[in-house]
């Protein structure tokens, strides 16, 4: 018995580079529409990636003369460890 591939995995799933490019394009479109991009930041990996994408798109948009509207928000739920709160505050200061 022989197994054959009808579709390659690469053909079904875009590369990471393609996904990043698509995300940046979508965020930039929001800036062109004059919309506020609101980014919830929890200091975790997922929200860190989203914040990085939004800020990179904003930087690139600014370089073309645009004025992006970005708001990064975070909430201290009072249940995070002190180390996590400090980490979140350090990351926010970098932004």
Task: Please tell me the predicted confidence (pLDDT) of residue 41.
Answer: 92
Predicted confidence at residue 95, as pLDDT, reads: 86
pLDDT tens-digit readout, 1-58:
666 666 666 667 888 999 999 999 999 999 999 999 999 998 889 999 999 999 999 9
pLDDT in tens, 53-79: 999 999 999 999 999 999 999 888 889
Report yes or no on whether pTM surpasses 0.85: no
Buried b vs exposed e over 28-67: b needs ≥16 C-beta within 10 Å? Answer: bebbeeeeebebebbbeeebeebbebbbebbeebeeeeee
């Amino acid at each position: 018995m022989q197994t054959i591939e009808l579709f390659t995995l690469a053909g079904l799933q875009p590369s990471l580079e393609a996904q990043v490019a698509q995300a940046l394009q979508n965020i930039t479109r929001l800036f062109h529409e004059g919309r506020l991009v609101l980014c919830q930041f929890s200091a975790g990996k997922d929200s860190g990636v989203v914040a990085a994408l939004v800020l990179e798109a904003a930087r690139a948009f600014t370089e073309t003369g645009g004025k992006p509207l970005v708001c990064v928000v975070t909430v201290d739920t009072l249940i995070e460890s002190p180390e996590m709160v400090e980490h979140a505050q350090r990351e926010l200061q970098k932004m």
